[in-house]
Amino acid sequence: MSNPIEDVTIRDSMIRLGQLLKLANLVEDGVEAAELIKNGLVKVNGEIDDRRGRQLHNGDTVAVNGQTVRVVAPTAD
């Protein structure tokens, strides 16, 4: 049974991977985020990504420790 994907709403059109991990409460702090990313334990859109500064946009998914979140950005009016 797969875990549901949780939406995480961001204020701007983009967020960096390390920031999203903290915002979504998937890590305690930036140090933990950096370690998980560096060790190849974070997947972005289904693929391992080792760039903490990776830019994420509306609809991107991030999976770590069996949890998956989806970025929800404001739409342009």
Helix locations, the chain, DSSP H: 17-23, 30-38
Q: Which CATH class is domain 5-72?
A: alpha beta
Please list, in sequence order, all residues whose beta carbon lies within 8 angstroms of the beta carbon of residue 58, skipping any fewer than 6 positions away: 13, 71, 72, 73, 75
What pLDDT digit, counting tens, does each position of 18-42 carry? Answer: 999 999 999 999 999 999 999 999 9
Tokens (6 digits) for 57: 């946009």
Q: What are the phi and psi torsion angles at 35 (to 5°)?
A: -65, -45
Give the three-class secondary structure for 40.
coil
Least confident of 1-5, 27-31, 46-50, 65-69: 1-5
Judge whether 27 and 21 are in contact, CB under 8 Å: yes
Tens-digit pLDDT profile for residues 57-70: 999 999 999 999 99
